[in-house]
Structure 1
Amino acid sequence: MGRSNPFFQGISYRLAKVGVILAFVIGFAMSSVQLYLDFQSQESQLDQLIAQVVEVAAPPATRAVHTLDDDLSAEVVNGMLAYDFIFDVAILDELGNILAQGQKARQKMPADWLTQHFIQGSKSYSARLILPGYDEIGNPSAVFLGAAAGNVSQSGPVAAAQGASPQSTWAKSGVITFKVDLNTVLGTFYQRSTLVILSGMLRNVLLVLLLFVAFFYLLANPLIQMAREFREIRLDRPGAKRITVPHPERMDELALLARSSNQMLDAIEETFSKRLEVEKALRDSEESIRLIINELPAMVGVRHTDGCIEFANQNMAEFFGHTTDTIPGTNVLNFGLGAGHSINRYRVLEGQPNFKNEVAGEFEGYSRDAQGDLRYLQGHMKPIVMQGETFVLMVANDITARKEAEEKMEHMAYHDALTNLPNRVHLVERLEHEILRARRHHYCGAVLFIDLDHFKNINDSLGHPVGDQVLKQVAARLRNAVRKEDLVARLSGDEFVVVLTVLGDDLDSAGLKAGEIADHIRKQISEPYPYHDIKLHVSCSVGIVVYSDSENSVHELLRFADTAMYQVKAQGRNAIEFFNLGMADKVSHQLKLESELHKALDECQFELYFQPKIELSSGHIMGAEALLRWNHPERGLVSPGEFIPVLEGSGLMIDVGQWVIEEGCRTLQQLDQMGGWQAGMQLSLNVSSRQFRGQHFVDTVTRILEEYPIPANSLDLEITESVIIQSIEDTIATMSTLSSMGISFSLDDFGTGYSSISYLKRLPVSTLKIDYSFIRDIVEDRNDRVLAETIVTMGQLLDLSVVAEGVEEKSQLDILAAFGCDYYQGFYFSKPVPLAQFHALLEVRQPVALEV
């Protein structure tokens, strides 16, 4: 369709059109009113004219009726037909007989159709002719009966008169009837009306034309000019052109519109300028942000929900072998991001993780870079809405190095650094899992506790590097000796644990299989280990505990297997042993004893007993050895052989050993104050290996001596050979420090350990104590006598005092005196006694043999 004529769209045309319609409507309404009033006036004039006609024709018509004069009646009829608007006349007597009647042809008028449409074409009138003597005053008269409008035929009214009853209608009078042609009567009315209508239309047309011209020049034309100027305004430069103000002096609506338009253009120009500035600032900011994002070490990208990348920073683009310009439009599926080797953790709305329904969360996994290498990526994703479209923001970091370090740290946390076997932590977790699985599926498994025999000799003689190589070979042999589903772990040092899974449904068959595997392991470990030109031999002790669906915990199983292994150690090593109920009772007893020992230390149930040390040459008491005793509140005195091993196996030995030194110094201080302690006398206190190796041992002894001042050179500490051979340099340093504080040292149980005699030259030891095992059979056994004599002679040559322990008979004492032994102690003189009895012995100061 073509464009419509703009003239017919203009305001002036529409106003003119509205004006024409309004003018015609108003003119028509006014003309209609005027015509109606004129029509009413015309009807009134017609009625007056008819009345005049009847008044003229009534007297002769009355006489004609009275005299029945036909000629006079005809004359009256012709006289009435002389009127141009009367076309039918009839005179009837009182009986309804027609005396005279006349008609003439009706004239054709242009407005007949209008008369026929709005009113009928003719109108009938009748007048009653009163006969003489019938009126009230006796004069002949006519009574006008009125008119009946209608388009009636010629014979209509006459026939009506003839059909009337003469007795009722015309008894006293006659009637004259006639018809009036309304077209003739209204001819002048129609002429005037036509003139009125045409003049009104002409007036309205002239008015509309004048309004159109006025509207066009006063309103439409200025608006057209303003619209043209608006079209000429450039959108990029809205303030370069202004709207012309028509007649600025008038301050009319058009001027206000033009001024407002100019103000609006000024505001638009200002806004446009500010927008340009904002857009420039946004472009600068966008460029800065893009630069910052490109410089970020992380990979940043924006993609569509279908996986196609919309934007990626330089780091992400380079990672996948693209540039920031070429990577848009590429699908992340092509990179394997979130697919293939990836390990994804997505939070999704429904279904499995994919690129269409993922909404937010973390993703983590492997992805291939441009070189095809697998790199571990970790990142986040979040939906964002830009320009009405949903995108997914991705931020990722290449944490491959950190992941490898974490995996290595995790491996180190669960594996032994030397053998790469699972460590204790891994063992406990795996064994817990196996126990639960055995309960669920009702099968049996076994735990093997393996300890290498005399492995310490390899470390001491050949060094720890050689020992480490042996441990690695032992680990390899253990792995080869069991199935893949079994677990081999290293606890510490030369201790290993093997967990055998799914050995059978009953304990007997499971125990048999476990024994066969354990013996196979023992034989494999016992095979020689080549080292340079020699072969090293290592055996092992294996403790076995079989588990099923019982309620034993991991630590209980390990303790049971450990107990069985120590049973092998006690029986000679290089064997296997199953854990039994007797061992369980022993373990339970040890646990109960350990708990009671904790309570004993807290409740001060320990006390010191003192066994005098006698000088052989004089028989005088030259000191004593303080021995720890436990006075149980229910059991009384508990044998040291029962509780001392438990103390040494637990962590209580350090605390109890500290109490022994404190109590010994306090006793020395007390004896000195009572006068029973003489110069040259010494109190010997036993120090365990763990206590001596303690980090704060020297500080603890120093604090005790400061708290309890004792006589000079009155304290002697007894240590075993096992203390000496462990880190000899540290041992010498500790002993030298304490020696400078006036403390002497005795080497206890001399001859039963593995120490080298050359250590005696370097150690600040003042006394050698011959173990009671050499004294017990010294009378009958020649070898014991030779060993005892050798020790005494060696002490004399090294200028060391020698004390013999466990002297119970005079024959033993005589032999020791012959060898030249310096001191002895034992039941021959006195058993260990409480402090009060020992103080009584000090007061006597004479060798008195007490009853054993």
Structure 2
Amino acid sequence: MLIGLSLGLVLSGSHVYWGFLRQQQEHTDFNERVLELIAPTATRAIETSDNELASEAVSGIMKYEFIQSANIIDASGNVLADQRRYNRQKEQFLWLTELIDKHFQQYSAELFSGDEQKVLIGHVNFVVNLNSVYDQLYRDSFGYLLAEIVKILILVSLLFVFLYFYMARPLSRLVNEMQTINFYQPKSQRFTRLGDRKDELSQLVESGNELLESVELALDSQRSIEGALRKSEEHLRQLIDRLPVYVSARNSEGRVVFANNAWASVFGLSPDQIRFNRLVDIASDAQDNILEVLGHDRVVFKEDRDVFVAEESWLSVEGRELFWQSHYTPLKFHDESVVLVVSTDISDRKKNEADIAYMAYHDPLTGLPNRLQLVERLENELHRAARHKYFGAVLFIDLDQFKYINDSLGHPVGDVVLKEVAHRLENSVREEDLVARLGGDEFVLVLTVLDTKFSESVKKASEIINKVRTELGVPIAHDNMDLRVTCSVGAVMFPDGNVTVHELLRFADTAMYQVKEGGRNGIAFFNEAMAEQAKNQLVLEAELHKALSADQYELFYQAKVDVQTGMLTGAEALLRWKHPERGYVSPGIFISVLESSGMIIEVGQWILEEACRSLQKWQALGVWNDDMHLSINISPRQFRRSDFVDEVKKTLMDIPVHRGTLDIEITESVVIGNIEETISTMEELALEGISFSLDDFGTGYSSISYLKRLPVSTLKIDQSFIRDLGEDRSDKVLVESMSSMGRLLGLKVVAEGVEEQEQLELIRDFGCDEYQGYFFSRPIPADQFYKLLHENSLKQSLKASRAG
């Protein structure tokens, strides 16, 4: 009703207001027309100074009841006429006039004389009583408003009655019924229907009843679901309790609101005993860890994000330190914000990492520091010695002929010896000294703080070395055997200028090899001569690094000749280095450097590819028969590489040659390392059509024992047996025996180093099949060897034509 009444009043008021504005505009226009009409008369009155004419003009204005006063005044201020009206009755609507406008309003017009040049001669003025102007408007408006209010009240009352009986009372009853219904157990309770009504309220009642029926069905379904959920929750709890992870949830107060059996058992409690207890009280022995854990909780609560902790430590009830990896995540748990923490035990992984770290710095067999730890500690010792101005020593120890123990008694016995040697070395030095194993039978001793004087330091180092050699010289008892080992020791003093750790080790190694070359079982201190030799070695190594990219390597070829016919049966490819300044450098100088530096791998691959290219070319030119073999030498280091077979296969795929024409020469040193692995490699390459020759046969004590197992097709008798063959009876016996043995085993026998006719005749008598040597040809470049092949091909053709 109030809204309807208010709307009616606003609309009626708007109508009155627009009427007032229209009346105001009409009155203003009227007053301006009055001024226009009276202005000519007033102008003549002033120009003629006619007061009567001025009075008539003023009286004409005053005939309008709403004009309160009027006058005519000349330019000098003299009043020609002036009239006023005095109201004796009280003005009824004066308050309203003053509220919306003002009581009196003055109108004025300027009076001018002359037509061309206008001169101000006076004014005509009159004052209007606005209350008198609007009086009738006020009366009409109030009557109109009163009538409108009465109509609105009647309409609103009728609408109220209608709405009350048709809407409000049924709604009130519906609300009362709704308040009495228990929605958790509606049963048969329903809303009263509204008869035959088809309006929205009736639809609401019907919808309410349908809702109650749906609620009743939903409650029945919910009860069954809740029962299933309880069972599911119980099963889920059992699953969580049996998970091999640690699950817990904490609220913002740090209280544990949930924990599985695994988490609770760490602290010797059950999940029920832990629930709602503070973490600081549960794990009171790990306060520092708890502060960090609660810090992670605060981050999760504050930033509402997951937190991953790679490692956190706990102390179990048994006192065992545990390492966990945890994931913190925000979660709503029973309408409460909590932090869910799922942790996995990484204690075993931590132990494995510690073991790996130990293994990274220690030798797995002896437990001694390995090369990595040696380098780090020696680096620190060098700086310390330079800072405190004292001397120390690095001892490089290599056991003499240790491989014979491995070969004859087996690696397990060799391992026993190495462990005992490590134990004796540790007992021979001081606690502050370092004993390390580099690998194999090589050990390094770092003697620290010997003395501030160099001579005294050398003396003390020598005393320790002698003690070490004495200790190692004591027989090692094993299975009723006394195993004896000796050692070669290379020593270098430090600090020495800007010498680095690796240079120190290399110097000690150089000194040790001097002992080896001098007959083993001795001591050698690194000196200037060794330094110069080491320097030359470094220079040579640097030059060899450049040689391959600078295309300084060449392959020379030495012919292999049939002993009976003198025809070529193949060749051996030999590496040569043409230095840009020194010319051809002897292989005896640089091959060992290639081996020790590891460059032999890259250079060996180049030899294989270059030899295949030459062989492919000669085969294409028709000067190389398929029964001829080109031999290449493979270093032990290259042969033992895990990808050696794959590299050879790839080379043969990129540079294909006729099957069965490529031969690989290996030495006894290749075989000794690992006989089974060697045989496997040879057999795999043999499937690619590669044959094998055993080079330098007879120089090793164990070669004969391997012959019956190795898939070799050729024996090459070392040139040391051929050199004095005409004079030394022993050489004759050995060469004849080796040749006979080769024939009995079905192997081809090649004699190396044949330089004289007598040697050739002897090996022919002994049954050798082929020979190499200066007697037929030195190693020569590829273009010169091609000429030999061409001549050999012509001879074969001529011989075939004669036979035909």
Q: What is the TM-score with the length of structure 1 in the denominator?
A: 0.55
Aligned partner (choices 594, 598, 622) of residue 651 of structure 1: 598
User: Could you say which residue in structure 1 is the equivalent of 2:653?
Assistant: 706
Structure 2 residues without counterparts, runs of 5 or longer? 1-232, 296-308, 329-340, 796-804
C-alpha displacement of 1:476 = 1.2
* 3-state SS of 2:704 partner: coil
Aligned partner (choices 487, 504, 521) of residue 451 of structure 2: 504
* 3-state SS of 1:717 partner: strand
User: Could you say which residue in structure 1 is the equivalent of 2:735?
Assistant: 788
User: Could you say which residue in structure 2 is the equivalent of 1:281?
Assistant: none
What does 1:681-720 correspond to in 2, within 5 Å?
A: 681-720=628-667
The alignment status of 1:619 with 2:566, answered yes or no, reads yes
What does 1:813-828 correspond to in 2, within 5 Å?
A: 813-828=760-775
What does 1:90-169 correspond to in 2, within 5 Å?
A: none
Whole-Å Cα distance in 2 between the matches of residues 333 and 506 of structure 1?
Answer: 63
Whole-Å Cα distance in 1 between the matches of residues 626 and 321 of structure 2?
Answer: 82
Whole-Å Cα distance in 1 between the matches of residues 273 and 697 of structure 2?
Answer: 83
User: Could you say which residue in structure 2 is the equivalent of 1:121?
Assistant: none
User: Could you say which residue in structure 1 is the equivalent of 2:578?
Assistant: 631
Structure 1 residues without counterparts, runs of 5 or longer? 1-287, 349-361, 382-393
User: Could you say which residue in structure 1 is the equivalent of 2:421?
Assistant: 474
Whole-Å Cα distance in 2 between the matches of residues 553 and 618 of structure 1?
Answer: 60
Change (3 A) 1:321 1:836: closer
Aligned partner (choices 483, 490, 495) of residue 536 of structure 1: 483
C-alpha displacement of 1:302 = 10
User: Could you say which residue in structure 2 is the equivalent of 1:521?
Assistant: 468
C-alpha displacement of 1:548 = 2.2
* 3-state SS of 2:768 partner: coil
The alignment status of 1:677 with 2:624, answered yes or no, reads yes
What does 1:112-511 correspond to in 2, within 5 Å?
A: 297=246, 337=286, 370-371=317-318, 404-511=351-458
* 3-state SS of 2:780 partner: coil
Whole-Å Cα distance in 1 between the matches of residues 786 and 265 of structure 2?
Answer: 91
Whole-Å Cα distance in 1 between the matches of residues 423 and 430 of structure 2?
Answer: 13
Change (3 A) 1:542 1:344: farther
Whole-Å Cα distance in 2 between the matches of residues 667 and 395 of structure 1?
Answer: 68
Change (3 A) 1:520 1:314: same
Letter in 1 for 2:663: D
User: Could you say which residue in structure 1 is the equivalent of 2:696?
Assistant: 749
Change (3 A) 1:433 1:758: closer
User: Could you say which residue in structure 1 is the equivalent of 2:182?
Assistant: none
The alignment status of 1:760 with 2:707, answered yes or no, reads yes
Greater helix proportion: 2
Letter in 2 for 1:781: D
C-alpha displacement of 1:335 = 5.0
Whole-Å Cα distance in 1 between the matches of residues 648 and 278 of structure 2?
Answer: 79
User: Could you say which residue in structure 2 is the equivalent of 1:729?
Assistant: 676
* 3-state SS of 2:497 partner: coil
Change (3 A) 1:605 1:808: same
Q: Is the 8 A contact 1:720 1:748 kept in 2?
A: yes
Letter in 2 for 1:510: S
Query: After alignment, is 615-624 or 372-381 more displaced?
Result: 372-381
* 3-state SS of 2:559 partner: strand
C-alpha displacement of 1:377 = 9.3
* 3-state SS of 1:698 partner: helix
C-alpha displacement of 1:313 = 8.1
Q: Is the 8 A contact 1:452 1:541 kept in 2?
A: yes
User: Could you say which residue in structure 1 is the equivalent of 2:27?
Assistant: none
Deviations 1:151-202 (A, max 9, x none): xxxxxxxxxxxxxxxxxxxxxxxxxxxxxxxxxxxxxxxxxxxxxxxxxxxx
Letter in 2 for 1:523: T
C-alpha displacement of 1:547 = 0.7
Letter in 2 for 1:490: R
Whole-Å Cα distance in 1 between the matches of residues 346 and 635 of structure 2?
Answer: 52
User: Could you say which residue in structure 2 is the equivalent of 1:593?
Assistant: 540
User: Could you say which residue in structure 1 is the equivalent of 2:177?
Assistant: none
Whole-Å Cα distance in 2 between the matches of residues 680 and 402 of structure 1?
Answer: 60
C-alpha displacement of 1:645 = 0.8
Q: Is the 8 A contact 2:623 2:793 kept in 1?
A: no
Over the aligned positions, Cα root-mean-square deviation in angstroms equals 4.2
Whole-Å Cα distance in 2 between the matches of residues 773 and 566 of structure 1?
Answer: 24
Whole-Å Cα distance in 2 between the matches of residues 842 and 377 of structure 1?
Answer: 75
Query: After alignment, is 315-324 or 550-559 more displaced?
Result: 315-324
Q: Is the 8 A contact 1:301 1:395 kept in 2?
A: no
User: Could you say which residue in structure 1 is the equivalent of 2:333?
Assistant: none
* 3-state SS of 1:762 partner: coil
Whole-Å Cα distance in 1 between the matches of residues 575 and 611 of structure 2?
Answer: 10
Change (3 A) 1:402 1:820: closer
Aligned partner (choices 497, 505, 509) of residue 550 of structure 1: 497
C-alpha displacement of 1:792 = 1.7
User: Could you say which residue in structure 2 is the equivalent of 1:769?
Assistant: 716
* 3-state SS of 2:584 partner: strand
C-alpha displacement of 1:363 = 14
Whole-Å Cα distance in 2 between the matches of residues 708 and 402 of structure 1?
Answer: 49
* 3-state SS of 2:708 partner: helix
* 3-state SS of 1:668 partner: helix
Q: Is the 8 A contact 2:369 2:436 kept in 1?
A: yes
Deviations 1:58-112 (A, max 9, x none): xxxxxxxxxxxxxxxxxxxxxxxxxxxxxxxxxxxxxxxxxxxxxxxxxxxxxxx
The alignment status of 1:838 with 2:801, answered yes or no, reads no
Q: Is the 8 A contact 1:335 1:367 kept in 2?
A: no
Whole-Å Cα distance in 2 between the matches of residues 611 and 841 of structure 1?
Answer: 10
Whole-Å Cα distance in 1 between the matches of residues 500 and 692 of structure 2?
Answer: 46
Letter in 2 for 1:661: L
Deviations 1:239-269 (A, max 9, x none): xxxxxxxxxxxxxxxxxxxxxxxxxxxxxxx
Deviations 1:589-613 (A, max 9, x none): 2222222222211222111111122
Letter in 2 for 1:514: A
Letter in 1 for 2:756: E
Deviations 1:744-778 (A, max 9, x none): 22211000023342432333322211111111122
Change (3 A) 1:407 1:735: closer
Q: Is the 8 A contact 2:259 2:275 kept in 1?
A: no
* 3-state SS of 1:780 partner: coil
Q: Is the 8 A contact 1:621 1:847 kept in 2?
A: no
C-alpha displacement of 1:675 = 3.7
Whole-Å Cα distance in 1 between the matches of residues 569 and 353 of structure 2?
Answer: 65
Whole-Å Cα distance in 1 between the matches of residues 248 and 497 of structure 2?
Answer: 54
Aligned partner (choices 506, 523, 543) of residue 576 of structure 1: 523
User: Could you say which residue in structure 1 is the equivalent of 2:745?
Assistant: 798
Letter in 2 for 1:297: Y
Letter in 1 for 2:413: V
**Higher gyration radius (CA):** 1
Q: Is the 8 A contact 1:540 1:574 kept in 2?
A: yes
Q: Is the 8 A contact 2:280 2:290 kept in 1?
A: no
C-alpha displacement of 1:630 = 0.8
Change (3 A) 1:603 1:303: same
Deviations 1:295-342 (A, max 9, x none): 9938899999xxxx9989879997667896899799989955469xx9
C-alpha displacement of 1:639 = 0.7
C-alpha displacement of 1:378 = 10
Q: Is the 8 A contact 1:344 1:365 kept in 2?
A: no
